[in-house]
Structure 1
């Protein structure tokens, strides 16, 4: 290789590296959180156009840490989500007697550490009537827990419960008598 070619390559290669690395940055940065699960329910119903999950006296139950971290659920493809007609709210003392048979649809395990769960509902001013319960390793459901925060942006109300519950495999979400659910997110930690 001649000296001229060597000098030319010495100038071209760094430019190619800079151009190539600039091309790699064209994508939006991703904030992947391996412990965050998102269930989209805003197109759940079979109406035209598809609408959010309609709730009428129902409780939502779901196993934790199963399936893809992002899921778009529908009435025809509900995944592991159980929509159970229970007619109970946040003021029931004996959960086992009211949701026992419906929760049998959720097999036990895997057991995880639940850090946070949120549910999004179409704004109607009743999201504060939402509460949560979780099932521990011994199979018992813990008393309903009120959300630690309720945020309303005028269109969507988000009820969030921040907690540190270990050895949990499922959650139940008790909702206002009538509401529309657009999504559920929850955060898990590895053991």
Structure 2
């Protein structure tokens, strides 16, 4: 896990068979772990798989993880990394109980670096046009899904009315016969 921002990004994908029969594979970053089923197919992933350590040692680990993530994101040809999922898993790791070794220190340090990166981007990036496009796209998507939902609801109501009418007609025919 020695990630320096000057080191070129190289993914590690070796499969490890554990004593309990589990298969795991390292993902795009050293703290990504993919769990495989017994046939080797994807089962789950952990995007912030760091060891349980005392808080200060975890603090160092968290900074290293953040450096590794940012170095990977610098690479123009790097793999697709779901940063949202990484942050969610890091936040979840911060829920470990206090007073014993855990992942809280790594989580806190990682999130501190992510917060600073967001502040830096906000201060030095030209974000307004990009965010305006994102908002416009979100509004279009909201309108599209609202229209589609209304259309599906209307089609469903029409089918239900037809089905009720067919049922009434069938019952009336039974009574008449």
Larger-gyration structure (1/2): 2
Fold conserved between structures, TM > 0.5 = no
More strand by share: 1
More helix by share: 2
Q: Which has the higher contact order (CA 8 A, sep 6+)?
A: 1
With the length of structure 2 as denominator, give the TM-score of the two structures: 0.23
With the length of structure 1 as denominator, give the TM-score of the two structures: 0.22
